[in-house]
């Protein structure tokens, strides 16, 4: 096959591709998105702003501590750092709805405080249209209401936006002694 024939075939392929390709959206059609880390607690879907969760881990081995609140699970060694581990089920007085094998540890760093928060499961990164934000608080989780900022709907499900940084700064949360 001659070089001119090959070149013509490539031009035809290019023309077909451009003719059948989906057009890029116009800038005015693009809607801003909000992103966060989704997780579940007491069967309720929550989402924390992306910058508030530093890491998501499988449950490490936790060593219990004496004379602390019952919601303090203990400490865990995470890559050479001893991190306090808080069981959010006990803290908020809810029952876990999934097996312990699915539980995850969210690592949150606020100021000089690093803490691991036990949640039922990680739901990964979530994306929502910013204009889809609405008021709302989960039923049956009244203890968490001060930290809820509102909600997003996604695929028929509600994700409540929770500020883990505000939780970690809360006076009750900081009072771990029995």
* CATH at 47: 2.40.50.180
User: Domain residues for 56?
Assistant: 31-174
Residue 26: predicted pLDDT = 65
Query: For residue 27, what pLDDT is reported?
Result: 64
pLDDT for position 107: 97
Residue 114: inside a domain = yes
Backbone phi, psi, residue 36, to 5°:
-155, 175
pTM above 0.85, yes or no: no
Nearest to 124 by CA among 30, 43, 31, 45: 45
The mean pLDDT value of the chain amounts to: 91
Q: What span, in angstroms and rounded, lies between the C-alpha atoms of 160 and 148?
A: 7
Q: How far apart are the first and last CA of the chain?
A: 84
Residue 10 domain-assigned?
A: no
Is 19 contained in some domain? no
Q: Domain for residue 20, yes or no?
A: no
- For residue 157, is it within any domain? yes
Give the pLDDT mean for 55-76.
96
Domain count, the chain: 1
For residues 16-30, average pLDDT: 72
Residue 47 covered by a domain? yes
């Amino acid at each position: 096959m001659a070089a001119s024939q090959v070149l013509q075939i490539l031009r035809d392929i290019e023309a077909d591709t451009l003719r059948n390709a989906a057009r890029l959206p116009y800038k005015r059609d693009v809607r801003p998105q909000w992103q966060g880390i989704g997780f579940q607690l007491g069967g309720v879907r929550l989402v924390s702003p992306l910058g508030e969760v530093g890491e998501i881990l499988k449950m490490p081995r936790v060593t219990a501590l004496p004379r602390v609140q019952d919601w303090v699970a203990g400490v865990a060694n995470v890559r050479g750092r001893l991190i306090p581990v808080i069981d959010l089920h006990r803290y908020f007085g809810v029952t876990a709805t999934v097996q312990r094998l699915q539980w995850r540890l969210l690592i949150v760093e606020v100021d000089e405080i690093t803490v691991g928060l036990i949640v039922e499961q990680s739901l990964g990164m979530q994306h929502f249209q910013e204009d889809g934000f609405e008021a709302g608080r989960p039923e049956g989780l009244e203890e968490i209401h001060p930290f809820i900022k509102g909600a997003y709907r996604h695929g028929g499900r509600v994700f409540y936006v929770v500020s883990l940084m505000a939780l970690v700064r809360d006076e009750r949360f900081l009072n771990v002694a029995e």
